[in-house]
Amino acid sequence: MKRPGRNEPCWCGCGRKYKACHSAFDDKMLTFGDKGILLPDHDIIKTPEQIEGMKKSAAINMAALDYVAEHIKAGISTQDIDDWVSKVTLDMGGHCAPLGYEGFPKSVCTSINDVVCHGIPSKDEILKDGDIINVDVSTYYEGYYSDSSRMFLIGEVSAEAKKLVDDVKRCVEIGLENVKPWTTLGDMGSKINEFAMSCGYEIVREIGGHGIGLEFHEDPYVSYVTKAGEEMLMVPGMCFTIEPMVNMGKHDIYIDDDNGWTVYTEDGTLSAQWEVQIVVTEDGYEMICW
Ligand code: MF3
Ligand code: CO
């Protein structure tokens, strides 16, 4: 950890001297570092101004998802969802973060049934009765990123599919209950995994949550398959997503060879995911985007 001199300006940019600002905070972090726990770099700890910026971005993100929630139904195409998200976002002055991100061709990810994530909207893909779909929206607005996703049930859905969707929502709630400063991401993630496994599901290993704010994807990586006590320390001001991808069958996945994006369950079972974006506070978390 790089520490300023006691009388130098604090690294958080508040303008106060380090000794009067984050010096005690860093002392506390270092006691965890001494125990071998991974510490966050200062540059991923958000200032109050940055948190305000993320909330403005999130307002657009959630408005786009609210629009989808009101209009999604059997017979529409996933391209329709892309058009809606794009219009709501641009009308509110934002940009769709997925568009062009590492070459992603559309403005939103739409992942149906056994598609785990990164489904590419298409006018040829029509929602039908019984489908479950994840719509993953990410926004850039005036320097700040936001990211959340929701599941939607199309028409009459099987009892087991509905249960999966509900259980995965519970996974995220359990994650939120376990966002506590001065504990680790492994403490939080392992609780999610315990619950998912108790339902007979498996959580995808290779793709998880992520830090977010000034970049779409920042440190830390948020896993749900690591153990309690492992992974990065959570400290106030850290901002990240909780977004477990939960498969009804095995955790194994594969990526579509033709487009290099769409991720499927290897065994063809259903997969569900909800994503929220939070900031760690002194006594838990504050919701930024859902
Ligand atoms: N929204 C996804 C996430 O939760 C990222 C999608 S990347 C994209 O991290 F390029 F596929 F959009
Ligand atoms: Co995300």
Q: Is 240 in the pocket of ligand 1 (CB under 6 A)?
A: no
State which residues have CB under 5 angstroms from ligand 2, the bound ion.
147, 241
Q: Is 218 in the pocket of ligand 1 (CB under 6 A)?
A: no
Using CA atoms, how far apart are residues 69 and 212, in angstroms rounded to an integer? Answer: 24
Q: What is the pLDDT of residue 68?
A: 99
Cα 134 to middle of ligand 1, angstroms:
12
Q: Tell which one of 118, 212, 288, 290 to mutate to probe ligand 1, the residue whose CB is within 8 A of the most ligand atoms.
A: 118
Q: What is the pLDDT of residue 22?
A: 97
Coil vs helix vs strand at 161: helix
Coil vs helix vs strand at 132: strand
Q: Tell which one of 61, 65, 95, 117 to mutate to probe ligand 1, the residue whose CB is within 8 A of the most ligand atoms.
A: 117
Residue 240: pLDDT band with limits 50, 70, 90:
very high
Q: What is the pLDDT of residue 52?
A: 98
Length of the chain measured in residues: 290
- Phi, psi angle pair for 231, to nearest 5°: 75, -175
Q: By CB neighbour count within 10 A (0-12 exposed, 13-18 middle, 19+ buried), where does 170 fall?
A: middle
Q: In this predicted model, what pLDDT tens digit does every residue of 25-77 receive, in sequence order? A: 999 999 999 999 999 999 999 999 999 999 999 999 999 999 999 999 999 99
Strands (E), 34-191: 95-96, 109-112, 115-117, 132-141, 144-153
Q: Find the mean pLDDT for residues 16-23.
A: 97
Q: In this predicted model, what pLDDT tens digit does every residue of 3-18 receive, in sequence order? A: 999 999 999 999 999 9
Q: Which has the closest alpha carbon to 132: 108, 155, 109?
A: 155
Q: Is 138 in the pocket of ligand 1 (CB under 6 A)?
A: yes
Cα 277 to middle of ligand 2, angstroms:
8
Q: Within 13 A of 73's CA, how many CA atoms are on the CB side? A: 2
Q: Is 135 in the pocket of ligand 1 (CB under 6 A)?
A: no
Ligand 1 atom with least separation from CA of 241: 4
The answer to whether 61 touches 137, Cβ cutoff 8 Å, is yes
Sequence-separated (6 or more) residues with CB below 8 Å from residue 197: none
Torsion-angle region of residue 263: left (phi > 0), alpha (psi -120 to 50) or beta? beta
Fold of domain 36-289: Creatine Amidinohydrolase (3.90.230)
Sign of the dihedral defined by the CA atoms of residues 30, 32, 34, 38, in that order:
negative
Q: Which long-range contacts (CB under 8 A, 24 or more apart) does 15-19 make?
A: none
Q: Spell out the domain ranges in the chain.
A: 36-289
Q: Which has the closest alpha carbon to 187: 195, 196, 178?
A: 178
Ligand 1 atom with least separation from CA of 137: 1
Q: In this predicted model, what pLDDT tens digit does every residue of 128-173 receive, in sequence order? A: 999 999 999 999 999 999 999 999 999 999 999 999 999 999 999 9
pTM above 0.95, yes or no: yes
Q: What is the pLDDT of residue 3?
A: 96
